[in-house]
Amino acid sequence: MLRRTLVMVVLAAALPAAGFAATAVATSVGPRVGFSVDPNQMVLGGHLMIGGVAPDVTFDPNLELGFGDNATVIAVNFDLHYHFDIQNSSWRPYVGAGVGANFIELDSPGPFKDASSTEVGGNIIFGAGVPTRAGSHFFTEARFGLGDIPNFKVMAGWNFNL
């Protein structure tokens, strides 16, 4: 049941992303890694950054897998980022917000049944990106969860231009 729901959410996310990609100025894709608090987990994932939504605004859907703290969390996030341009600096800080669906599997000890749930919540995002010598972009961000999703995440990753 969880897999079927996850596949439907990913397919539903791909349709609007394909529409945005047709009008995007810059599109990139890449991995992301970090950790979350409550639950305390290691988080791995991937993302797509679609530029051209509006001046200095990108649409950044991502998929993350968190494991640890007797739980597995699959998060599908749909974020918008506003990027600031700082003179005499290659760093581009950004702020963002988004909505996320989290599919949670709790591992219960002993004879108890494992539990699963689906939670939806919001994210407030603060981050910064910088170009690398190879032409990709490195970023790091802090995500604050609103609702029954992880309260805090610190993530880092790379964007490779398509």
In terms of Cα–Cα distance, which of 80, 77, 48 is closest to 147? Answer: 77
Residue-by-residue pLDDT tens, the chain, 162 positions: 545 544 444 444 444 444 444 333 479 999 999 999 999 999 999 999 999 899 999 999 999 999 999 999 999 999 999 999 999 999 999 999 999 999 999 988 878 788 999 999 999 999 999 999 998 999 999 999 999 899 999 999 999 998
In terms of Cα–Cα distance, which of 10, 12, 1, 73 is closest to 37? Answer: 73
Is 61 within 8 Å of 75 (Cβ atoms)?
no
Domain count, the chain: 1
Pinpoint the alpha helices (H) of the chain: 2-23
* CATH for 97: 2.40.160.20
pTM, to two decimals: 0.81
Range of the domain at 36: 2-161
